[in-house]
């Protein structure tokens, strides 16, 4: 267990580190793979200290060849290991898409259940102050339509630890999205053993007038928007989707049943995004209780610029969410 006081908040990145540390200690079949995850401690310091503790057999540093080492992880998982692969930037995951799409997600079915692929692909997604068009994307929509793959995107330190532990223990492949902007956020994290379900949304704040559906780094922004409306007597519910595949249809329907209005918020591009899937679920299951059309807020459908000011222009902001909430209330 972590050597710290449970009352002290810890960084999101530290919570990821603790989850990896505990699972490496608990299960000898868990191995980490990725670029610079050993001596250097990872591009964002998430694996710092683990190489010294577990050595090169458990933390395997890889060449700059995502398709190759994700393929190695698929084979290792089929042979009984539990690889946790780090893709340094989510943008680079496109290089390994064939292994995830055509191997990891399908082999259990192709072999009639005789094999499983218990692997996790961890990857930092999202923009962070000028990283540019090929290091800033939230590519969640690439994975939600792949059969056999679970997709998780936590928003808090406590959730990222409990969900990562569950993902490592799951017999199925999991794409685990960690937003770069969240690494520096602090939160309360239990010191005892705990795991969280991979298929459940979290109602982060109860409300009666509008539901904001969000995930990853958009959740704290939505919570701030909720607080800004409270003074005007508008009660906003915030639902952290957490699981993007499968989506928690029951929680989505229950929330819209309470509020009658919904705004879907995500950092990914609006077109073809997770918000579109949430809107479709609401249309299928909640049409009778809707008081206004479902609205979506997300990034503009353009590459993310390296200029910090242009980056802000492309990404969804709190003001964008405020305008969407006002629009749905005035419908």
Catalytically annotated residues: 66, 135
Spatial separation of the C-alpha atoms in residues 302 and 309, rounded to whole Å: 15
Spatial separation of the C-alpha atoms in residues 244 and 144, rounded to whole Å: 6
Q: What does the angle CA 49 – CA 51 – CA 55 come to, to the nearest 5 degrees?
A: 145
List the 295-299 sheet strands across, edge first.
202-205, 236-240, 210-214, 262-269, 295-299
Task: Give me 307's structure tokens.
Answer: 């200029």
Spatial separation of the C-alpha atoms in residues 143 and 156, rounded to whole Å: 21
Place of tokens 């401690």: 41
Spatial separation of the C-alpha atoms in residues 105 and 99, rounded to whole Å: 9
Spatial separation of the C-alpha atoms in residues 308 and 322, rounded to whole Å: 22
Spatial separation of the C-alpha atoms in residues 147 and 168, rounded to whole Å: 19
- Crossing angle between the packed helical segments 218-230 and 318-330, to the nearest 10 degrees: 50
Q: What long-range pairs does 108-113 form, CB within 8 A, spacing at least 24?
A: 108/148, 108/172, 109/147, 109/148
């Amino acid at each position: 267990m972590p050597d710290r006081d449970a009352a002290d908040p810890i960084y999101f990145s530290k919570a990821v580190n603790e989850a990896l540390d505990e699972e490496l200690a608990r299960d000898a079949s868990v191995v980490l793979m990725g670029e610079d995850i050993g001596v250097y401690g990872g591009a964002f310091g998430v694996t710092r200290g683990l190489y010294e503790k577990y050595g090169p057999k458990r933390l395997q540093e890889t060449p700059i060849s995502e398709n190759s080492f994700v393929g190695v992880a698929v084979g290792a998982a089929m042979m009984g290991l539990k690889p946790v692969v780090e893709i340094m930037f989510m943008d680079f995951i496109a290089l390994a898409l064939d292994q995830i799409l055509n191997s990891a997600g399908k082999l259990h079915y192709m072999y009639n259940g005789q094999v499983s692929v218990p692997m996790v692909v961890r990857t930092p997604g999202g923009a962070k102050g000028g990283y540019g068009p090929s290091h800033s994307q939230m590519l969640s929509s690439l994975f939600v339509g792949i059969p056999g793959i679970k997709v998780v995107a936590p928003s808090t330190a406590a959730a990222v630890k409990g969900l990562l532990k569950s993902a490592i223990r799951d017999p199925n492949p999991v794409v685990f999205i960690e937003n770069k902007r969240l690494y520096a956020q602090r939160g309360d994290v239990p010191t005892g053993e705990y795991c969280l379900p991979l298929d459940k949304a979290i109602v982060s704040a109860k409300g009666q007038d509008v539901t904001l559906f969000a995930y990853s780094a958009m959740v704290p922004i939505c919570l701030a928007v909720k607080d800004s409306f409270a003074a005007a007597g508008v009660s906003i519910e915030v639902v952290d989707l957490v699981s993007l595949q499968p989506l928690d249809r029951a929680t989505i329907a229950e929330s819209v049943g309470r509020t009658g209005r919904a705004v879907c918020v995500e950092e990914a591009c609006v077109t073809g995004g997770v918000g579109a899937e949430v809107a479709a679920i609401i249309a299928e299951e909640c049409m009778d209780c809707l008081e206004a059309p479902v609205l979506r807020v997300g990034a503009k459908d353009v590459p993310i610029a390296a200029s910090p000011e242009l980056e802000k222009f492309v990404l969804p902001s709190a003001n964008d969410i405020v305008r969407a909430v006002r629009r749905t209330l005035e419908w």
